[in-house]
């Protein structure tokens, strides 16, 4: 689907490099800039594509996902807020399932910056009775920087649930996760490991002492993806494995083979937002050729 996004009919040309297009039933802002291509749906302020010029797609998107109002998109970078996981209904919060507003955009020779805003309304108040302003800012060029800022008086958990396109889950490794983790596959059991994480089946771990940068090494696609974390307490590593992938209606049976999630989050240590002190969560993504010497 990543390539098809950029051939969809334009419904509104915003600037020479920005346009609005329709993906299924969802409007999306599409970036076609000399430095990169990208796309963000208005529902969820959800990044569904980003690739620097000359690079293959960095962001994974399921071929079975539905682009329907109120339905979460499988893939991309969902914004999980104001809770992560099954702490409330819907799972991973409501921010990814409702429309946001494109509140500003700027561009220069290096790329574009898009800002999306969500404020409380009757729909959110029914799910979570707090007044808030949530801002998602995307700076897109040879790097991808995503910053989430929440203003109000509340405590939240959150994650930027990044799905990455890989060549083969059996060959990738992730370093920079730290050693201590909470294993959600094993009902929250705590564990320790040293060195790189490799994937031998369903994996769902919250690493509570991560390094500032996690790196995905992908020998099949001959590249590395750096995921730099900001204002975080945790990094989540996830791959559904074959059995769960087969059972998920919005993922193809073999979808797990070409994706891995390395997510910047605040899960074990919730964020506290005050009117005078917004809470922030951010990630910076970079891709580079793999040095195999």
C-alpha–C-alpha distance, residues 31 and 20, integer Å: 9
C-alpha–C-alpha distance, residues 273 and 152, integer Å: 6
Q: Clarify whether 224 is annotated catalytic.
A: no
Token pair for 255 = 């979808």
Which DSSP state fits 262?
E
Strands annotated E in 24-168: 26-33, 36-41, 46-52, 79-80, 101-108, 111-119, 132-140, 144-152, 154-160, 163-165
Chain centre distance of CA 147: 11
DSSP notation for 205-237: EEESS--SEEEEEETTTTEEEEEEEES-SEEEE
Annotated catalytic residue: which of 147, 149, 224, 263?
263
Annotated catalytic residue: which of 33, 92, 145, 161?
161
C-alpha–C-alpha distance, residues 49 and 2, integer Å: 6
Burial class (CB in 10 A: 0-12, 13-18, 19+), 106: exposed
Q: Clarify whether 276 is annotated catalytic.
A: no
Residue 137 has a CB neighbour count (10 Å cut-off) of 18
> Mapping DSSP to helix (H, G, I), strand (E, B) and coil, where does residue 174 land?
strand
> Mapping DSSP to helix (H, G, I), strand (E, B) and coil, where does residue 14 land?
coil
Point out the residues that are catalytic: 161, 263
């Amino acid at each position: 689907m990543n390539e098809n996004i950029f051939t969809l009919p334009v419904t509104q040309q915003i600037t020479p490099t920005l346009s609005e297009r329709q993906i299924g039933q969802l409007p999306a802002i599409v970036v076609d800039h000399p430095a990169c291509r990208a796309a963000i749906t208005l529902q969820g302020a959800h990044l569904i594509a980003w690739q620097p010029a000359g690079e293959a797609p960095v962001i994974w998107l399921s071929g079975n996902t539905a682009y329907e109002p109120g339905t979460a998109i499988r893939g991309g970078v969902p914004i999980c807020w104001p809770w992560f996981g099954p702490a409330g209904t819907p799972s991973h919060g409501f921010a990814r399932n409702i429309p946001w507003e494109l509140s500003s955009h700027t561009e220069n020779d290096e790329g574009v910056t898009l800002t999306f805003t969500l404020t409380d309304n009757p729909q959110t108040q029914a799910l979570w009775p707090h007044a808030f302003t949530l801002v998602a800012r995307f700076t897109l060029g040879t790097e991808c920087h995503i910053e989430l800022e929440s203003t109000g008086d509340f405590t939240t958990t959150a994650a930027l649930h990044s799905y990455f396109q890989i060549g083969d889950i059996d060959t990738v490794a992730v370093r920079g996760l730290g050693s201590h983790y909470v294993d959600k596959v094993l009902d929250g059991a705590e564990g320790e490991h040293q060195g790189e994480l490799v994937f031998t089946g369903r994996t769902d771990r919250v690493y509570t002492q991560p390094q500032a940068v996690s790196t995905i090494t992908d020998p099949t696609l001959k590249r590395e993806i750096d995921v730099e974390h900001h204002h975080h307490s945790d990094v989540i590593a996830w791959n559904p494995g074959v059995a769960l992938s087969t059972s998920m209606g919005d993922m193809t049976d073999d979808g797990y083979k070409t994706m891995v999630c390395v997510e910047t989050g605040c899960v074990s240590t919730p964020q506290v937002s005050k009117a005078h002190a917004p809470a922030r969560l951010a990630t910076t993504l970079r891709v580079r050729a793999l040095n195999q010497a």
